């Protein structure tokens, strides 16, 4: 037991000594982005209470273990908080919050995907990070435009939100299925 702890401590010291700046920044960004998403998604009353520490732990965990299930769990906690706030706490679905949560969760997800394949002690060419972030920015921009248009349409068709959600959801489900089917056929 004691030997195991000493070994772990030794490994941690080696990791800290060998770590390079860019992988460290990527991991810090993952924690920051998920923390931002959690604070936006969860009800304000919970965020300013001592439960913030739990949210911080949920946000920081994927930064330490980007290869594990921590990232999926963090995104699910964000979505859970958002659903709780808009149903139980009866908060209004504000455009900026939807945009912020969608953007931050996706950026956290894609940065975790990068950190999962990027060793902490790697010598990273800046091109790697730049191209990764540019691609993430394009995706975020596209989905933001979609969000603004769809939420605008929903408010125009006041009362018909359920119908719009059903239609958009069905279209998206069909689209996603097609993408996955195409992908599987190729592999």
Cβ 53 vs Cβ 92: under 8 Å? no
| 177, two tokens | 């299925």
What 3-state DSSP class applies to 89? coil
Q: Virtual CA dihedral for 144, 146, 151, 156, nearest 10 degrees?
A: 140
Return the DSSP state at 42.
Answer: S
Does 24 bind other proteins (CB under 8 A)? Our answer is no
Contact pattern from residue 144 through residue 163 relative to other proteins, giving x for each residue in contact according to CB under 8 A and a dash for the rest? --xx--xx--x------xx-
Q: Look-up: residue for tokens 């018909």?
A: 160
Q: 47, 52, 106, 133: which one contacts other proteins (CB under 8 A)?
A: 106
Q: Are 81 and 40 in contact (CB under 8 A)?
A: no
At its nearest, how many Å lie between other proteins and the CB of residue 98? 5
Which residues of the shown chain bind other proteins in the complex (CB under 8 A)? 18, 20, 67, 69, 71-72, 75-76, 79, 82-83, 86, 93, 98, 101-103, 105-106, 109-110, 112-114, 116-119, 121-125, 127-128, 131-132, 135-136, 138-140, 142-143, 146-147, 150-151, 154, 161-162, 164-166, 168-170, 172-173, 175-176, 179-180, 182-183, 186-187
């Amino acid at each position: 037991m004691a030997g195991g702890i000493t070994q772990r401590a030794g490994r941690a010291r080696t990791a800290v000594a060998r770590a390079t700046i860019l992988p460290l920044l990527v991991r810090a960004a993952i924690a920051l982005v998920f923390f931002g998403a959690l604070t936006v998604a969860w009800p304000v009353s919970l965020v300013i209470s001592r439960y913030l520490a739990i949210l911080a732990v949920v946000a920081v965990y994927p930064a330490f273990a980007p290869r594990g299930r921590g990232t999926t769990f963090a995104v699910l906690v964000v979505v859970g908080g958002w659903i709780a706030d808009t149903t139980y706490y009866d908060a209004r679905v504000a455009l900026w919050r939807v945009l912020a949560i969608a953007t931050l969760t996706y950026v956290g997800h894609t940065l975790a995907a990068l950190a999962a394949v990027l060793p902490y002690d790697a010598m990273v060419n800046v091109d790697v990070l730049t191209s990764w972030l540019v691609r993430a920015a394009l995706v975020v921009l596209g989905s933001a435009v979609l969000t603004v248009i769809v939420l605008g349409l929903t408010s125009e068709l006041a009362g018909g939100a359920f119908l719009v959600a059903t239609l958009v959801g069905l279209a998206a489900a069909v689209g996603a299925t097609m993408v996955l089917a195409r992908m599987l056929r190729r592999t």
